[in-house]
Amino acid sequence: MLLIPALVVGCHQQPATSLKIAFVSGRDGNSEIYVMDADGSNQNNLSNNPAGDSFPVCSPDGSLIAFMSGRDGNSEIYIMDADGSNQTRLTNNSSDDIHPVWSPDGSQIAFESDRDGNWEIYVIDADGSNQTRLTNNVADDESPAWSPDGSWIAFHSSGELGPSEIYVMAADGSNQNKLTGNPIGEGFPAWLP
């Protein structure tokens, strides 16, 4: 089981001297989302569900955590308050919705879904409304990453069209442009501030 950590800065809206780290642990027999103080103390299970929960991502204001959960028989996107309360499912379909990432203003969450037969990038408002597919390609489009100003989303695309390449698109899915062209392939883009 792959356990993916996520750094959560200011998740409980505490002073900068009280940094928190959200992470995934299998210590309870399945993957759960935990939070702890930056010194390793006060480790608490936030998701506390018999199904697997993973990929915690804190909202920009620190009040919410988006994550993916298998509690519905497949992976769906959920949010919860930074203390683990008010766990709410945002997506609901028979395919997998994975790897949520917040927009810089906290109003939207981008994610990957295979509901159309291959992986595409979707965006949803933080309240679960206005679910929109941004990509519609033959290849698998994965790993969305918002630009710091929220106007662009970088991602990688792979599949029948050859090796994985880095693309960028406007936040509404328009103006998709391939940025790399290496025969070995590239992936997992991240914006520098």
Domain ranges of the chain: 90-193
Strand partners, 114: none
Task: List, as own/partner pairs, every contact residues 59-62 make where C-beta atoms lie below 8 angstroms and the sequence separation is at least 24, other chains included.
Answer: 59/102, 59/106, 59/126, 60/102, 60/104, 60/105, 60/106, 61/13, 61/106, 62/8, 62/9, 62/10, 62/11, 62/12, 62/13
The structure's pTM equals 0.88
Domain 90-193, CATH class in plain words? mainly beta
53-58 and 64-69 strand pairing: antiparallel
Per-residue tens of pLDDT for the chain, all 193 residues: 334 444 444 454 444 457 899 999 999 899 999 999 999 999 999 999 999 999 999 999 999 999 999 999 999 999 999 999 999 999 999 999 999 999 999 999 999 999 988 999 999 999 999 999 999 988 899 999 999 999 999 999 986 667 899 999 999 999 999 999 888 889 999 999 8
CA distance 156 to 140: 8
Is residue 69 within 8 A of residue 56, CB to CB? The reply is no
